């Protein structure tokens, strides 16, 4: 039930297109509706029962329910008592007749304190069907722009957003509500997210005319930049999650990074590519792997902001060490991207392209040089596939090759201080990688967000 929800900042009702035939409900007349008063008693309480009676009288004496929409829009209610009042007309209950939903925001009143959501239905005159009172913190803003039936079950879905303070920081949660026959009930929720959500978009990604998907952006305020929550874990990038209606519930689909401005750095490109790969969006992933394969990009903004904890040669001048670390680490990222691109070629049945790319990998990263590790894996994978092995067997062989090369001198690897604070790929308070030459090793602060398996899936 809504009464169990936390404070609300924003309530969205997504509007279903209204045809000319259903604009006027079966109730109402051509009477002369009276003004609606928001009566506050000496104790500062709103007479909510009196308000409901006045709304019913207004609707029963109006030509149609849209007159109440216009009336509320004309009110100047931004007072210390009532911050916002709005009306939505939609088939909330799914009986084919337009209902009326009123939303009042009164965050400072003793009773009712917060948001009052009242549903009026039309059946031989207007009747109050449901009232929900949701507690909200002082000064929160409420708005209800529109409404739509997302899952094609005949009932309007209501997208609700609210905020709260957790650890002295602003967090936002999103819920989807629907009429359950007696009250508005929660059918989906996400958050709390430190920073909030962007504009929630409706999609028809699966091209099913019966249902819509919706995309939820997550934004997370972190110092002067942005970051986000990803599977309930904080990180310094923005993401989006697509939700679809499956098996009578909303299911999270692909979650991917959405901050394209961060794609000028090798390590953020790697993360984005691996997320798209996990979603099965191989075209998106392939374009990002190709950027890594091309090389020449900085690993992270200002590299790490600190000197990477590599074991440097005493002969290497201190002013050259940052560039050296970025160069050899970049070789492993580029070689890994080549390994992934060969897998994509094999997945697409393009063995000739895989052969050509393999030749390029061997020339760029020969045995004995940094990056050869992933060349050997790619060669073993391709050889196994050419010899008729299943992809699972080929991937297992590539994994064995990975360990064999690491145990040999065929790839020199990168010596680094394993217990260095922040790890090797550290930037802006987060560890972006656990090992400079083993890109399959995911650091603890990324484990809930990214996995990097041996093969595509």
Cis amide prior to 232 (ω within 30 degrees): no
Give me the sign of the Cα torsion angle 31, 32, 33, 34: negative
Strand partners, 243: 214, 252
Q: Which tokens belong to 213?
A: 């998907």
Low-confidence ranges of the chain (pLDDT < 50): 1-24, 139, 145, 221-234, 303-304
CB 169 within 8 A of CB 110: no
Q: Where are the alpha helices (DSSP H) in 199-294?
A: 266-278, 282-294
Residues 238 and 382 in one domain: no
Residues 369 and 249 in one domain: no
Quick one: pLDDT at residue 138? 53
Q: How many angstroms separate the CA atoms of 99 and 91, rounded?
A: 5
Q: State the Cα angle at 209 between 204 and 213, rounded to 5°.
A: 30
Q: Pairing mode, if any, of strands 184-194 and 225-230?
A: unpaired
CB 326 within 8 A of CB 438: no
Quick one: pLDDT at residue 220? 55
- Number of domains comprising the chain: 3
Name residues whose C-beta falls within 8 Å of residue 42's C-beta, 6 or more positions apart in sequence: none
Quick one: pLDDT at residue 203? 73
The CA–CA distances, whole Å, from 313 to 8, 305, 318 equal 58, 21, 10
Q: Where are the alpha helices (DSSP H) in 7-62?
A: 48-60
Quick one: pLDDT at residue 81? 76
Quick one: pLDDT at residue 423? 60
Number of C-beta neighbours around residue 445 at 10 A = 18
Name residues whose C-beta falls within 8 Å of residue 173's C-beta, 6 or more positions apart in sequence: 6, 161, 162, 163, 164, 189, 190, 191, 192, 193
Name residues whose C-beta falls within 8 Å of residue 274's C-beta, 6 or more positions apart in sequence: 285, 450, 451, 452
Domain range for 92: 2-187
Q: How many angstroms separate the CA atoms of 157 and 177, rounded?
A: 6
Quick one: pLDDT at residue 280? 92
Residues 256 and 291 in one domain: no
Residues 93 and 240 in one domain: no
Tokens 């925001």 — which residue?
A: 105
Model pTM greater than 0.85?
Answer: no
Quick one: pLDDT at residue 23? 44
The H or E element containing residue 126 is: strand 126-134
Among 187, 214, 240, the domain boundary falls at 187
Residues 230 and 327 in one domain: no
Residues 230 and 89 in one domain: no
Tokens 């899936």 — which residue?
A: 457
CA 175 to chain centre: 13
Among 262, 290, 319, the domain boundary falls at 262
Domain for residue 267, yes or no? no
Residues 241 and 145 in one domain: no
Domain for residue 452, yes or no? no
How many residues are recorded in the chain?
457
Domain for residue 433, yes or no? yes
Residues 305 and 441 in one domain: yes
CB 309 within 8 A of CB 433: no
Domain for residue 180, yes or no? yes
In 3-state terms, what secondary structure has residue 393?
A: helix
Nearest to 7 by CA among 133, 183, 195, 163: 163
Domain for residue 272, yes or no? no
Residues 132 and 173 in one domain: yes
Q: Which tokens belong to 314?
A: 């005493």
Domain for residue 137, yes or no? yes
DSSP tag of 18: P
Quick one: pLDDT at residue 239? 79
Domain for residue 171, yes or no? yes
CB 234 within 8 A of CB 194: yes
The H or E element containing residue 339 is: helix 321-347
Residues 36 and 77 in one domain: yes
Residues 160 and 291 in one domain: no
Q: Which tokens belong to 288?
A: 């990002």
Q: How many angstroms separate the CA atoms of 58 and 52, rounded?
A: 10
Residues 327 and 371 in one domain: yes
């Amino acid at each position: 039930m809504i009464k169990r929800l936390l404070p609300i900042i924003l309530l969205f009702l997504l509007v279903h297109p209204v045809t000319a035939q259903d604009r006027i409900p079966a109730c109402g007349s051509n009477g002369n509706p009276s003004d609606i008063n928001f009566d506050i008693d000496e104790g500062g309480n709103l007479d909510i029962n009196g308000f409901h009676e006045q709304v019913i009288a207004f609707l029963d004496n109006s030509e149609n329910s849209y007159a109440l929409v216009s009336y509320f829009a004309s009110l100047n209610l931004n007072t210390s008592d009532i911050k916002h009042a709005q009306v939505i007309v939609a088939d909330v209950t799914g009986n084919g007749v337009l209902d009326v939903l009123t939303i009042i925001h009164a965050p400072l009143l003793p009773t009712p304190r917060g948001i009052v959501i009242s549903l009026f239905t039309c059946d031989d005159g207007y009747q109050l069907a449901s009232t929900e009172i949701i507690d909200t913190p002082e000064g929160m803003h409420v708005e209800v722009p529109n409404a739509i039936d997302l899952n094609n079950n005949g009932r309007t879905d209501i997208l609700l957003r609210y905020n709260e303070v957790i650890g002295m920081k602003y967090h936002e949660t999103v819920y989807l509500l629907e009429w359950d026959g007696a009250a508005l009930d929660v059918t989906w929720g996400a958050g709390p997210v430190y920073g909030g959500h962007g504009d929630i978009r409706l999609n028809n990604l699966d091209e099913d005319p019966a249902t819509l998907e919706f995309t939820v952006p997550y934004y997370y305020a972190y110092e002067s930049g942005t970051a986000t929550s990803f599977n309930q874990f904080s990180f310094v990038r923005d993401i989006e999650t697509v939700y679809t209606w499956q098996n009578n519930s909303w299911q999270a689909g692909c979650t991917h990074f959405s901050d394209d401005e961060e794609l000028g750095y090798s390590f953020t490109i790697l993360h984005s590519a691996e997320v798209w790969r996990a979603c099965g969006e191989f075209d998106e992933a392939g374009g990002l792997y190709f950027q890594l394969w091309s090389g020449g990009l900085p690993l992270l903004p200002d590299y790490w902001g600190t000197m990477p904890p590599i074991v440097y040669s005493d002969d290497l001048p201190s002013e050259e060490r940052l560039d050296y670390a970025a160069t050899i680490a970049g070789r492993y990222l580029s070689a890994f991207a080549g390994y992934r691109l060969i897998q994509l070629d094999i997945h697409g049945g393009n063995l000739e392209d895989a052969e050509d790319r393999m030749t390029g990998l061997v020339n760029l990263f020969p045995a004995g040089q940094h990056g050869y590790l992933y060349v050997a894996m790619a060669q073993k994978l391709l050889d196994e596939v050419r010899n008729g092995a299943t992809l699972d067997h080929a991937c297992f062989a590539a994994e064995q090759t990975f360990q064999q090369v690491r145990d040999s001198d065929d790839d020199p690897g990168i010596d680094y201080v394993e217990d260095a604070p922040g790890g090797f790929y550290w930037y802006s308070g987060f560890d972006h990688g656990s090992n400079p030459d083993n890109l399959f090793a995911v650091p603890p602060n990324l484990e809930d967000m990214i996995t990097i398996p041996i093969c595509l899936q």
